[in-house]
Structure 1
């Protein structure tokens, strides 16, 4: 099988817009898919000339609603559209559609003959928009009936385990052409690692919010190529990544892959979301991943799957970095190092002696932060909605603890020299402060507090905006991410 291709799904409502998308993404793509079902009705009449106007290899697709598309007018109308697009084929094959996508149950001999007569390859597709496929290998073998057809299977995984199972089954198809992908956020690794999953191509869509097919897990071609080095991935590429759930926002792939490129390492760092830490380990072992970052909510649960931990993990009770060291899974914590460096830079201090600090939250990140504060000589109080978790964390480091609510305002004022927000509240939120995106919605900032929020997307979280409006000095968590990421990269390099 040749190296996989990047295919841009053209999702605009007009041909003119689709042609503009081709020009925008031309440096990153190998072919395009004209999604006729997404075009306005009057635009569908112009599809025959599209390949010559695009001057690019094109897949003709008219996707039915049952398969995740928008075409609902019936098979007779769809057949006529296919016929119109394939008719009057040119002897110059570049002016014809290079591929046409027919579903597994769609067999119109006249259309198939027209495609084959002029060199248009048939992609024979199967979609399950709701469920995983029990036996991908068995299904693919039944679909590999002609060298002229390329089987395509796309399904919706329910867990990362479904993706691990898919990888194992696909290892018997190294020498054949097929298109496979798991859809949704769980399936992103199958798109980035199309080469390892032995897929002929990887589907992408435009980055524009109204055009990207994010509901089925698409990324844009520029990201696939510039962040993940898609075309450079081969059998020797070392795999690294980040796991967590829901893992909607992470800048770690951009950062870590930039590190690998800077040092000319044949390696790629990918996101793989897992609802359970055990599924992340199964995926890592199945694909041969050499190291990965760990984020919410697995920083504590991941420890029980490790054979070795450093002293910081043992003292903190949380792990954010896992490295395979000669077959042994070893755990490290770089959050504490990254936070300490970022906080001192933010505050302009050399230590925290004499400072009273509020730690908001008691999860895995809060544990590393509490360790760093203790190490820097600060006194702290842990504020958390679940008092038992606050107590457990506080007692580990000799700190005070209390509930997170209006009843604790006076204690919060006492420990307000520096407020460190460690929860995920506010992540991805562009709304004004409320009780759903601001953990301190009940607290009136005086303007004297220093606020450090470990969330970095958005750049200014609701609590940061509110604190800054009161005159407080504020900082998001990107510097912490950067510094702890540098430490992670040093650990990952030992696994190369």
Structure 2
């Protein structure tokens, strides 16, 4: 089979707008899908002109609401519109629609005959907007009416384990097909269309010219597909890596790792894998033969029981952010320790923390790495956490102080305020209760503190804004991310990251 094509979905209300979007992304794509269901009523009368305007192969799609589209007319009117799009075919086939998307239950012989006569291939599609489709090979065989048609299944997996099954089943297909997953878990299948054998992968432009519904369905930006994920170079020999966590709303790790692979001339790609379950993430990685995973919240501690081996540091702090697949199973490491150590030394311009009093906000997986690093740097720390028992358990390991995170601990926080390190997800805005939140909003800065927040998106959390306004030196977590990613890269590939 040929490498998958990149198909840009056009969802503007006029053909002129659609053409402008196409021209913006022309260099990044192979073909386009004209979503005529999004066009204004009067614009739909002229869809026949679009293939000649486009200068690229065009799919004509008029999607019903039941299948995720916005076409509100009846089936007779929709069929007539399809016929209008195929009519008056040109002898120059480049000026005709190259493909037309017809649902599996749409049986209109006149449309099918016209498509065949005019050299327009039929994409025969099945959409399930609520769940995955079981037994894809059997379903593909059922909807593929002739060898001239390209069967397409678009479905909405609810768990990553369903996506694993889809990859397994799609890999057995030996004819042209399209596999398109939608929703929060869809990104891996869009980037790795080569591994599902899909004829194409759909994408949408960022910004105002894309329908919000398509973004929610998991469409990827065509520029990102090419520049970040090196989509066109992915083949059967490409080494696969990724990052897993939940909700995994913001991550710059793919950019860091994929840039590294390009600099080193490696045939490798690193992708985001959203999963509420770390078991599902590991199963998915094994299904695809992935060689390594970055592990982020909330899986840094729960992943430990799933691993065959642990590095000394990961075992000591009982938190793991990196897993590497070996012949004997998964081995876990913690590169957060290295990352925060290098980041703090750069931020503070010191060689160690001897004699310095440090406040660590939080007691989770990230806080464990931070506490270990502060201890190794000879600092004295106090752990502040809403659950006092968690703060105590972490603090006692290093003979640190501990306190409840709240007004009750304010005096102690003032005492340990030379450096404040914020390690929780509060401020990231990944859920409503954290939106615009500051985990130490009860504390009044005097301006002499140095504040490090491990969050890097947003660039400045409410905590950092408030600290900076008070005159404090501040730093976000990008430096930590960068340094820990360099160490991960080395564990994944055996080579040092080329900066």
TM-score by length of 2: 0.96
Q: CA deviation at 1:430?
A: 13
**Is the aligned partner of 1:187 residue 2:170?**
no
Q: Distance in 2 between matches of 1:162 and 1:486?
A: 32
Deviations 1:449-480 (A, max 9, x none): 11111111111122111111111111111111
Specify every segment of 5 or more residues in structure 1 that has no aligned partner in the other structure, as ranges.
none
Q: Which residue of 2 aligns with 1:283?
A: 284
**Is the aligned partner of 1:347 residue 2:348?**
yes
SS in structure 1 of the partner of residue 194 of structure 2? coil
Deviations 1:303-350 (A, max 9, x none): 111111111101111011111122421111110101110111111111
Q: Which residue of 2 aligns with 1:255?
A: 256
Q: Distance in 2 between matches of 1:105 and 1:39?
A: 24
Q: Which residue of 2 aligns with 1:41?
A: 41
Deviations 1:387-432 (A, max 9, x none): 222222212222122222222211211111111111112225899x
Q: Which residue of 2 aligns with 1:461?
A: 461
Q: Distance in 2 between matches of 1:138 and 1:401?
A: 60
User: Do 1:325 and 1:495's aligned partners in 2 also have CA atoms closer than 8 Å?
Assistant: no
Q: Distance in 2 between matches of 1:272 and 1:426?
A: 23
Q: CA deviation at 1:199?
A: 0.7
Q: Distance in 2 between matches of 1:221 and 1:33?
A: 13
- Across the two proteins, how many residue pairs are aligned to each other? 494
SS in structure 2 of the partner of residue 94 of structure 1? helix
User: Do 1:323 and 1:495's aligned partners in 2 also have CA atoms closer than 8 Å?
Assistant: no
User: Do 2:383 and 2:395's aligned partners in 1 also have CA atoms closer than 8 Å?
Assistant: yes
Q: Distance in 2 between matches of 1:358 and 1:137?
A: 57
Q: Which residue of 1 aligns with 2:175?
A: 176
Q: CA deviation at 1:191?
A: 0.6
User: Do 2:89 and 2:96's aligned partners in 1 also have CA atoms closer than 8 Å?
Assistant: yes
**Is the aligned partner of 1:157 residue 2:157?**
yes
**Is the alpha carbon distance of 1:495 and 1:77 closer, same or farther for their aligned partners in structure 2, counting shifts above 3 Å?**
farther
**Is the aligned partner of 1:55 residue 2:55?**
yes
User: Do 1:362 and 1:384's aligned partners in 2 also have CA atoms closer than 8 Å?
Assistant: yes
Q: Distance in 1 between matches of 2:323 and 2:479?
A: 21
Q: Which residue of 1 aligns with 2:333?
A: 332
Q: CA deviation at 1:209?
A: 5.1
Specify every segment of 5 or more residues in structure 2 that has no aligned partner in the other structure, as ranges.
none
Q: Distance in 2 between matches of 1:406 and 1:88?
A: 76
1:366-385 matches, within 5 Å, as 366-385=367-386
SS in structure 2 of the partner of residue 324 of structure 1? strand
Deviations 1:266-321 (A, max 9, x none): 11111111111111111111110001100000001111111111111011110111
Deviations 1:26-74 (A, max 9, x none): 1110100011111222222221100101111100011111111111112
Q: Distance in 2 between matches of 1:454 and 1:227?
A: 24
1:189-268 matches, within 5 Å, as 189-208=188-207, 211=210, 213-268=214-269
Q: Distance in 1 between matches of 2:53 and 2:21?
A: 13
Q: Distance in 2 between matches of 1:72 and 1:182?
A: 24
**Is the aligned partner of 1:269 residue 2:266?**
no
Deviations 1:364-399 (A, max 9, x none): 111111100111011111111222222222122221
Q: Which residue of 2 aligns with 1:423?
A: 424
Structure 1 residues 135-144 or 474-483, which shifts more? 135-144
Q: Distance in 1 between matches of 2:220 and 2:210?
A: 11
Q: Distance in 2 between matches of 1:12 and 1:351?
A: 57
Q: Distance in 2 between matches of 1:161 and 1:200?
A: 23
**Is the alpha carbon distance of 1:166 and 1:476 closer, same or farther for their aligned partners in structure 2, counting shifts above 3 Å?**
same
Q: CA deviation at 1:437?
A: 2.3
1:379-418 matches, within 5 Å, as 379-418=380-419
**Is the aligned partner of 1:75 residue 2:75?**
yes
SS in structure 2 of the partner of residue 331 of structure 1? strand
Q: Distance in 2 between matches of 1:452 and 1:78?
A: 58
Q: Distance in 1 between matches of 2:158 and 2:430?
A: 26
Q: CA deviation at 1:435?
A: 7.5
User: Do 1:445 and 1:470's aligned partners in 2 also have CA atoms closer than 8 Å?
Assistant: yes
**Is the alpha carbon distance of 1:397 and 1:258 closer, same or farther for their aligned partners in structure 2, counting shifts above 3 Å?**
same
Deviations 1:219-249 (A, max 9, x none): 1111011111111111111111111111111
